[in-house]
Structure 1
Amino acid sequence: MYHRFVATQVRKAFAEITAGNWEAMVAGMAPSFTYRFYGDHALSGERHTHDALRRWWERCFRLLPNTRFDVQDVLVAGWPWDTRVATAVTVDVGVADGSRYQNVVHQFLRMKWGKITEVRTLEDTAVLQQTLDRLAAAGFEEAHAAPITD
C-alpha cells in the first residue's frame, strides 16, 4: 500500500511539473538534499539548496518551455524512513527553433519520511546537447551557460 501511494505521488509530481508548477517539486525536497543531473551542459550539475534548484527549474523552462513529461514506469522499494524510487519518463518539447526535443529520462530518488533527499537524473546527454547547441545557435545564450550549482 505504501509503495502504491509513493508511486502515485511521483506521477502527480511529474503532472504538476508538466503543468508548469515545478515549485511543488522543490517543496518536496528535504532540508538537506542532493539533486544531480549528469552531463556537461547548461542543465547539468549538482545542487543542494532550494534556491539553486529553483534557479535550475527556471532555466529549464526558459530553454525548454512547455515540457511534457509522460511517466512510463515508477518502481518503489523500502520503507518510509528509507524509500528508493526509480522512474522512466519520456520528455517531449516543442523547441523555440521549431524542432522537437524528445528523450527518455531515468531518475533515481531517495526519500525519508516523505521528503526527497537525493535525485540522480540520467538521460541521453548527446540528444540534449544537440538541442542546447541548436538553441545557442538560434541566440539563446543560456543554452551554453555554466551549470547552476551551489
Structure 2
Amino acid sequence: MYHRIVAGKVRKTFAEISAGNWEAMVAGMAPEFTYRFYGDHALAGERHTQEALRRWWQRCFRLLPQTTFEVQDVLVAGWPWHTKVATAVTVDVGLVDGTRYQNVVHQFVTMRWGRITEVRTLEDTAVLERALSRLAAAGIEEAHAAPITDEVPAAV
C-alpha cells in the first residue's frame, strides 16, 4: 500500500509540473538534498538549495515552456525511512523554431519520511543538446548558458 501511495504522489507531481506548477516538486524536497541533472548543457548541474532549484525550474520553463511530462513507469522500493523511486517519463514540447523536443527522462529518487533527499536525472543528452542548440540559433542565448548551481549568479 505504501508503494502505491508514493507512486501516486510521483504521478501527481509530474501532472502538476506539466500544468506549470513546478513548485509542487520543490515543496517535496527535504531540508538537505541533492538534485543532479547529468550532462554538459544549460539544464545540467547539481543543486542543493531550494533557491537554486527554483532558478533551475524557471530556466526550464523559459527554455521549454508548456512542456508536458507523461509518466510511463514508476517503481518504488523500500520503506518510509529509506524509499527508492525510479521513473521513466516522456517529455514533449514545441520549440520556437517550429520543431518538437521529445525525449525520455529517467529519474532515480531517494526519499526519507516522504521528503526527497536525492534526485538523479538522466536523459538522452544528445537529443537535449540539439534542441538547446536550435533554441540558441533562434536567438535564445540562455539555451547555451552555464548550468545553474547553488552559487549566487554574478550581478550584471
TM-score, normalised via structure 1 length: 1.00
CA distance in 1, matches of 2:121, 2:44: 9
What does residue 79 of structure 1 align with? 79
CA distance in 2, matches of 1:149, 1:97: 28
CA distance in 2, matches of 1:97, 1:22: 25
The alpha-carbon deviation at position 50 of structure 1 amounts to 0.1
What does residue 148 of structure 2 align with? 148
The alpha-carbon deviation at position 97 of structure 1 amounts to 1.2
CA distance in 2, matches of 1:88, 1:116: 17
Match of 1:5, SS state, is: helix
The count of corresponding residues between Structure 1 and Structure 2 is 150
What does residue 123 of structure 1 align with? 123
Q: Could you report, residue by residue, the CA deviation over 1:57-94 in whole angstroms, capped at 9, with x for unpaired residues?
A: 00000000000000000000000000000000000001
The alpha-carbon deviation at position 96 of structure 1 amounts to 1.2
Give the RMSD, CA atoms, in angstroms: 0.3
CA distance in 1, matches of 2:46, 2:17: 20
Q: Which amino acid aligns with 2:56?
A: W
CA distance in 1, matches of 2:136, 2:62: 13
Moved over 4 A (4+): none
Q: Could you report, residue by residue, the CA deviation over 1:46-65 in whole angstroms, capped at 9, with x for unpaired residues?
A: 00000000000000000000
What does residue 53 of structure 1 align with? 53
What does residue 39 of structure 1 align with? 39
Segments of structure 2 that go 5 or more residues without pairing to the other structure are 151-156
Percent identity of equivalent pairs: 82
Q: Which amino acid aligns with 1:22?
A: W
Quick check: 1:22 aligned with 2:25? no
The alpha-carbon deviation at position 102 of structure 1 amounts to 0.2
What does residue 10 of structure 1 align with? 10
